[in-house]
Amino acid sequence: MTLHQPDHPPLTVEALIEWLRSKPADETYVWSDPVFCLVGHYLSEHNSSWGVAQYSDIPDYEQIAGEKPWTFGAALGRAEALLALPAPDPADVVAPPTLELQAEPEREPEPAHKLTAPFVG
């Protein structure tokens, strides 16, 4: 993604954690408001804005910011907990089942229709 604002912050969980550590733990944000939501605060404090970035650019953003309570301290705790999780073992990843396409049964041909001249009256 090309970013057009020179002060645009990194959109990583690590960068978000670093920023959250500088915020008062009991300060709240408004989950449903694009200006006063967690990433809205993050972008505006870095002289950036929506349009250049969106919340889905930050991995696991909904798990970090969407759960209550909506305080910077609680979001920090969720972000740190997510970052501490071990990476999934590829052997544990289950592939989705594949669907086999069935051939359609043969159909009888449609009966031939007689063509008639248009009604002239």
Q: Which one has a higher pLDDT value, 106 or 68? A: 68
Res 97: pLDDT: 80
**Is 24:72 a contact under the CB 8 Å cutoff?**
yes
**Is 12:54 a contact under the CB 8 Å cutoff?**
no
pLDDT mean over 80-108? 83
**Is 25:72 a contact under the CB 8 Å cutoff?**
yes
Res 3: pLDDT: 47
pLDDT tens digits for range 27-85: 999 999 888 999 889 988 888 877 767 777 888 999 999 999 999 999 999 999 999 99
H helix runs in the chain, sequence order: 13-20, 38-45, 61-65, 72-84
Q: Which DSSP symbol is given to 56?
A: G
Bond before 69 cis per omega within 30 degrees: yes
Res 63: pLDDT: 95
